[in-house]
Amino acid sequence: MTPDFLKTKVVDIEGQSVTITQLSGLDRLNYMDYCAEIPDPDRPIEPAEDASQEEKERYLLDLKKYSNAWFRINFMAQARLVAYAYRGDVDDLDERHQQIMSMMTPPQVETLYFEIADFSGLSTPKEPDATESTSDTTITTETATTEETTTQEPTDPKV
């Protein structure tokens, strides 16, 4: 019998216990390939400033479609990662991916996505806390005084 080095974890999703498996190295690479192969949606071209009201309204509708296309891509990519880690009863990855997209809501998929990414050591973008107000505390190079900029430790670009 071959030892199984991948860990499993039980996650609660809206009262349901879901067992996820840590991603293998090959699964991680395959997932990154999957995401890289997803084509970007066509971005609508912004009309000229002197465009008619009808052209501007059409642009806004096209922009909404563009935004919805990105939402769909995000959902599909997150569901794909969930399909790698939520093995269930289905062996075929593509079939499991379709099953997850059809049986889970976007918030459920997103929750599992972040759980799996964290559990597997994948980096994900972190959203700033709503309680933090960075606008008052952030020091930019434009507003920093000479003392603030000269007391910073030099950084080695090779590190």
Q: Would you give the distance in Å from CA 11 to the centre of its chain?
A: 19
Domain ranges of the chain: 8-150
Map residue 44 onto helix, strand or coil.
coil
pLDDT tens readout for residues 7-22: 999 999 999 999 999 9
User: Angle CA(18)–CA(20)–CA(22) in degrees, nearest 5?
Assistant: 170
User: Angle CA(139)–CA(141)–CA(147) in degrees, nearest 5?
Assistant: 80
Indicate whether 111 pLDDT > 90.
yes
pTM of the model: 0.72
| Amino acid residing at 23 | L
Based on its alpha-carbon atoms, the radius of gyration of the chain, rounded to whole angstroms, reads: 22
Look over the chain and give the mean of its residue pLDDT values, rounded to a whole number.
83
Comparing 137 with 112, the larger pLDDT belongs to 112
Query: Which residues are CB-neighbours of 122 under 8 A, at least 6 positions away?
Result: 23, 28, 81, 116
Q: Give the separation between CA 66 and CA 42, rounded to whole angstroms.
A: 7
Checking DSSP bridges between strand 8-13 and strand 16-21, what pairing results, if any?
antiparallel
- The DSSP code for 152 is S
Comparing 148 with 123, the larger pLDDT belongs to 123
